[in-house]
Structure formats: C-alpha cells, structure tokens
Structure 1
Amino acid sequence: MDPTDSEKEANGHNRRAGHYNSSSFRSLLATPTTTGAASRPRPLIAYVRNNWDARRSNGSNNAATPPFPTSPGHSYHSSEPRWLRTARAVVSAPRFRRFVVIYVIFALTILIGWQGIYKPVAEERNALIKALDRGTKARVGGWFGTNNLPRLEGLVQLRMLDSSLLPEYDDAEDKPRDKDSKSSRRGRRLVFVGDVHGCKDELEALLDTISFDRNAGDHLVLTGDMIAKGPDSRGVVDLARSLHASCVRGNHEDRVLLFRRQQQQHAKIHGADSPYELPEKAVTPQDKAAQQLARELSDEQASWLEGCPAILRVGSIKGMGEVVVAHAGLVPGVALEHQDPVSVMTMRSIDVETHVPSAKEDGLAWTKLFNKYMTVRKADLEELRANDETAQDNDDNDDDSVGLMTVIYGHDARKGLNLQRYTKGLDSGCVYGRKLTALIISDGGKHDHVQVSCKRYQKA
C-alpha cells in the first residue's frame, strides 16, 4: 500500500527532527581543546564517570596527569610499558589479592610447623643417631662409664629385690587357685610410688585407694625423695618401715644423711653440746631444712634410709625385661655396677657425644636416649634370634622383652608422670599440690597407675 500524503509529511517531519537532535547533540560535544584553537568535538568516552577516578569525581583537574587527553597530539595510551600496565592491572585485581593472602597464610603455617614441630623432631632424631654411633664413641675416647667409679662412703650402690616378692611371670588368672587363699585369689603386686616428700597423709590415702595389703602379697617400693619439703618426713619413714617397703636413695635423702654424718663427726671432735652449723653465707633454705631434719631423725630412721641403695634391681617381669629402680635415671649401655651413684640420684639430661649425665635440663633428656638405645637393642636381639635356628627350635617363650631393661624413676616433677616404653617416671609433684602416683605391676606383667590429689605444701 502506498503511503498517503499525510503519512509522507509526518515521516519527513520526524527525519528532520532526528537530524536536528543529532546535530544539536554533536554541537554540545564540540568544546575547545586549547585556548584560541578551533573547536573540535570531544569523544563520548570523555564523559564517562568512574568511581575509581577520584580526580574527575571531585572536579579536580591535574594538568600533569590528566585523566583524559586534552590536546590533539595527546595519546589516549599511558606512556608506561605494557608489561608494567599488565602487572599493575593484575595486582589491583581483588581475586589476585585474595590468592596472595591465602598463599602467605599457607607459607607461614608451613614455616611455623617446621620451626616448632618438624625441625626439633628431626634434630632430636639426628642427635639420637649420633649418640649411639660407634664412630662417635671412638672419636671422644669412650663413653661415660667405661672405667670403674670410686665408691662413696655410707652408700650402697646396688641391691637385689627378694625374688619371692615378684609377681608371677605368667598371668595368675590362667592358674588354678586356692579358694581359701586371698593372695592366690589376687596374686602378688609390686607397688612403685613416686616422690612422697614427707606427704604421709597422701601416701596413706594412695595405699587405701589401691587396697594395699602386705599380707595379700603386695610390696611397696619407693623411688626416692621420701623425705624433705613436706610436713611429716619422719612419719613417712616410719610408715615405710612398718610396711617393710623397699626404697632407693634420692638426692634429698643423700643430703640429709650427709648432714647427719657431718653432725656426728663434729660431735666426736667438739662434743655433743656443740651444734654443727654451716657457714651462714653457704646455707640455703633447703640446707637449713635438711640440717634440722638430720637432727630430728632417730638412729633407726637414719639407719633405714642409709640402707636404701642407689639402684634397686627388681628382677625380670614379663613384657618389661629387667626392671630397675633408680631415683633420677641411668646411663644406657653402662653396667649397673659402673653407674655413677651421684648421677643416678640427680641426672636429667645426657651429653650426646660422651654420654656424660647432667643434673641440668639443657641437652638431650636421658629418657629419650635410653628408650632409643633399648629400641635399637631390641632390633639387634630379634635379628640374632632370627639367625639362630637352634634358639628358634628351643624358644617357647613369647616374651620379646628378654635382654631388655625398664627403669622406674622419680625426681623430675617438672615433667610429671612420664610413662614411656622402657622408662616410667612417677614424680607427679605431690608436695607442690599436684598428684601422688603409684605404678602397680601384677601377675603376667600387667601394670597400671593410680593417682591421688595432694595438698600444696611448697611452691613449684
């Protein structure tokens, strides 16, 4: 259909209006670029507003770095190299910043884990390997304990526990029982108690908790430091004597007995009425307390304490090998007869190369070296048994602890209860208000520990 005259007129009017509007808009875009220069239209991009362009939003006009070109010869592209513009665009991207934060956190986690966990473990492992290396022994001229040590006056180095006090090697539950015998019903038990330090009430509470009964086959073994610091050292000694307990000498017993011998020697020379006193400058509060306790002990109590050896050899117990009690610890690989008694009562750490023990905590803990030594020894014994066909044919014993040793000790209250494969630390800081611990070994080598709470008598 052909358009009518009215329609043609309307279309022509619209075209003229559109042309007028377009021309008017272009005229609005025409602004002078420089003073006195001919006017030229500005591109549409010059009128785009972006939030990041603070200068344009605030109406500022920095001639040095204009946000848009203002002269005919000015380039719309920055003068910076392309690689720099690309790097700046990547860095300014929010996603990139998030990834950077994540990677930094991940790297810090790895670094902290290495420094705090993996590096100390690796260093300790290397130290243990070095400590047991025969080449190290040859280089330092032999390890500690190679030569015989001098004996100390009034000190028993080693004593054996009566074998009749040991629990049955095999589990007593597998054996027929006498219905009228209480001891056969429960079996014998060895009860090892950590540092008591004069806390008699707590010791009695612990023995009541485990239903200790000497007549039923129980035997008490004290790991040293039975006296000093606490409220009733003499009461602890009397209780131990009444129970026919076994013991080892700790550093506090040794100090008190040393003061007692000095007092007796002083009395022989100067008379009983002349009290023995240390020089005031050389006396610590612990020395004063030990001197006072040395005066208070009766001859019977002191004699019982002097009978406590530095090392008590308990005997063979299934799953534990040869069980030994020492107050502070032992040097691995050294015969019990050659152990230094002073170190046995005081040691905490050990030198990696020479195996010289120390009362300080700096260095490698003796327990770690001892457990590593026994682990290596166990592997060697298993290899020997595997290569010995005669031993395999005649070996009916399923106990893989034969030829090994377990040490039960006290002394180290800072670490507290510390039960490892071949070392059992029982000093749980009773006198400091923490716990008093008993390790109970019954027939078949079964063992468990029991603790009671203690009052606080001294600050740690």
Structure 2
Amino acid sequence: MSGRTIIIGDIHGCHAEFTALLNRVQPRSDDRVVLLGDLINRGPDSCRVLDIAREVQATILLGNHELRLLEHRRTGGKTKLKETDAATLTQLRPTDWDLLESLPLTLHLPELNVVCVHGGFLPGQPWQSQPAEVVTRIQVIDRAGLPHKRATCPDGVLWADLWSGPPFVVYGHTPRPDIYKLKWSAGIDTSCVAGGHLTAYVLPERRFVQVQAARRYYG
C-alpha cells in the first residue's frame, strides 16, 4: 500500500471531534483509516460516528463496547449492560448491527511490523490466537498472569509494560490523559469522551495528531 495508515483511538460517539481530526489529517484516496473500536456509547451520537466511518471506508476493529452490545443482542441478558448502553441499543439501525457483527479483532500490517487491536494482548502468547474477551478488554495483568481491567486489579501491571514485541502494537481502550508510547506499543485512547483528546497515529511517519474535545460528555 502506497499511502498512509491513519489509526484513530476510541471515539465513543464524539462525531464532531472525529470530523475535526479527519480534517486535520486529510485522508487521501490511497490512505487507510483504522479505528480501534469503541466507536459507540457515552458520547453524543454513536450512529453519526458509524456513518462517518463508512464515508471514509475505515477499517473498524471490535471494541469492548461493541462486543458487550453484541453479546446482549445474542443472549438477551442484561447483566453486563452499562448505564449508557440502553440509549445506544435503541439508536442502532439494522445496518449498524450488520457492521458490528462483521468487525475483526485485529489488523496486522506486516509491511509496518504493526498490529492494531482495541485492548491489547497477553504477553508470552501468540497474539493471533487470543480471544475477544482478552484482546478487547485487557488493561492489566495480575500476579498469576491473568488479564483484568484496572478497576478490578489496581495492583496489576499494565500489559504494555510487559510486551516486548515484535510486533509493535497500537491500541486504545485504556484511557489516559496522554499518549502512552513505549518501545513496542502506543496507547492512543486519550479520553476524548471525558473531555480529553481524540488521537490519531499516522504511519509510516510515526506522527501523532490530536484534537481537543469540545467538552466533557461522560464521567
């Protein structure tokens, strides 16, 4: 592929910021836009974000928010639903559900030695075979080597701190005020929906581009 790869972190319904970031990076016809999942929930308009993603022909990865709604739709169970899920469930259109059902877990860019994923990977295991429950939800690793969210394992070690590559991993899911760039990974969920920034990582030039959130929508 001759163009750029433009990887964008968690959007969470923030369509205005998504549009502003695309205006900053100006995708061309030979560029590839990659969205790291969690396009929906929490922010002002999940459906508009999905529409913009279609307009730019983005490659979209499965995030834990998409996975949770898909699991609810398949099983009818409500135990895992979060407070902002109900509104999104009523808004999503049949074409949106079809899109969500089609989302891959990872995108391998061998020409760049990069893998894109929503949450991350367990180090020491082949990344290609790790299940959705892990790669969309992992944030930290406990002493037994098991994956957790930060909230359920506050003394856990960030998975990225233990990831020694290759490949280089670009991921979202773990919101932080700043980009978390290490030798073998870059975490680009910079809390747009909570009033932070929406971040893009542009390859092959390895350049970060950000826009400030218009306001705090959640949290």
Distance in 2 of aligned mates of 1:421 and 1:247: 25
Q: Is the 8 A contact 1:247 1:312 kept in 2?
A: no
- Residue identity in the other structure for 2:217: Q
Q: What are the superposed Cα offsets for residues 255-300 of structure 1, whole Å, 9 maximum, x if unpaired?
A: 122223345xxxxxxxxxxxxx84xxx587x34x313312321111
Match of residue 356, structure 1, among 131, 146, 154? 146
Q: Does the CA-based 8 Å contact 2:12-2:39 persist in structure 1?
A: yes
Name structure 1 gaps, 5 residues minimum. 1-165, 168-187, 264-276, 375-403
- 8 Å contact 2:198–2:213 — kept in the other structure? yes
Query: How many angstroms apart in 1 are the aligned matches of 2:100 and 2:218?
Result: 26
Secondary structure at the residue paired with 2:207?
Answer: strand
CA distance in 2, matches of 1:291, 1:368: 35
| Maintained 8 Å contact 1:199/1:233 | yes
Could you give the per-residue CA deviations for residues 65-100 of structure 1, whole angstroms, max 9, x where no partner exists?
xxxxxxxxxxxxxxxxxxxxxxxxxxxxxxxxxxxx
Question: For 1:265-344, what aligned pairs fall within 5 Å after superposition?
Answer: 278=78, 286-287=82-83, 289-317=84-112, 322-344=113-135
User: In proportion to residue count, which structure has more strand?
Assistant: 2
Equivalent residues of 1:351, 1:364 under 8 A apart: yes
Pick aligned residue for 2:167 from 398, 402, 405: 405
Partner-residue secondary structure (3-state), 2:193: coil
Map of 1:179-218 to 2, 5 A cutoff?
188-213=3-28, 215=29, 217-218=30-31
Paired residue total = 216
The change in CA–CA distance for 1:192 and 1:283 in structure 2 (over 3 A counts) is closer
Q: How do residues 408-423 of structure 1 correspond to structure 2 at under 5 angstroms?
A: 408-414=170-176, 416-423=178-185
Task: Tell me: CA distance 1:303–1:348, structure 2 relative to 1, closer, same or farther (3 Å).
Answer: same
Q: Distance in 2 between matches of 1:415 and 1:434?
A: 6
Q: Does the aligned pair in 2 maintain the 1:410–1:425 contact within 8 Å?
A: yes
After superposition, the CA RMSD in angstroms is 2.0
Structure 1 position 327, deviation (Å)? 0.8
Q: Do the aligned partners of residues 459 and 226 (structure 1) sit closer, same or farther apart at CA in structure 2, a change above 3 Å counting?
A: closer
Aligned-partner Cα distance in 1 for 2:80–2:159: 30
> Identity percentage over the alignment?
32
- Structure with bigger gyration radius: 1
SS of the aligned residue for 2:68 comes to helix
Residue 239 of structure 1 is aligned with which of 46, 52, 63?
52
SS at match of 2:99: helix
Equivalent position to 2:70, from 252, 257, 263: 257
Which amino acid is the alignment partner of residue 420 of structure 1? L
How far did residue 429 of structure 1 move?
0.6
Structure 2: distance between partners of 1:447 and 1:212: 15
Aligned partner of 2:140: which letter?
S
Distance 1:435 1:323 in 2: 23
Check the 8 A contact 2:42/2:218 in 1, yes or no: no
The 1-side partners of 2:177 and 2:129 are apart by 27
SS at match of 2:136: helix
Q: Deviation digits for residues 24-73 of structure 1, max 9, x if unmatched?
A: xxxxxxxxxxxxxxxxxxxxxxxxxxxxxxxxxxxxxxxxxxxxxxxxxx
- Work out whether residues 177 and 196 of structure 2, in 8 Å CA contact, stay in contact via their aligned partners in 1: no
SS in 2 for 1:260: helix
Indicate if the aligned counterparts of 1:195 and 1:427 stay in contact, CA closer than 8 A: yes
8 Å CA contact 2:43, 2:218 repeated in 1: no
Q: Which structure shows the bigger proportion of residues in helix conformation?
A: 1
1:366 partner amino acid: W
Structure 2 residue aligned with 1:157: none
Query: Which of 1 and 2 has higher RCO (CA within 8 Å, sep 6+)?
Result: 2
CA contact (8 A) 1:199 1:430 kept: yes
Q: Which runs of no fewer than 5 residues in structure 2 stay unpaired?
A: none
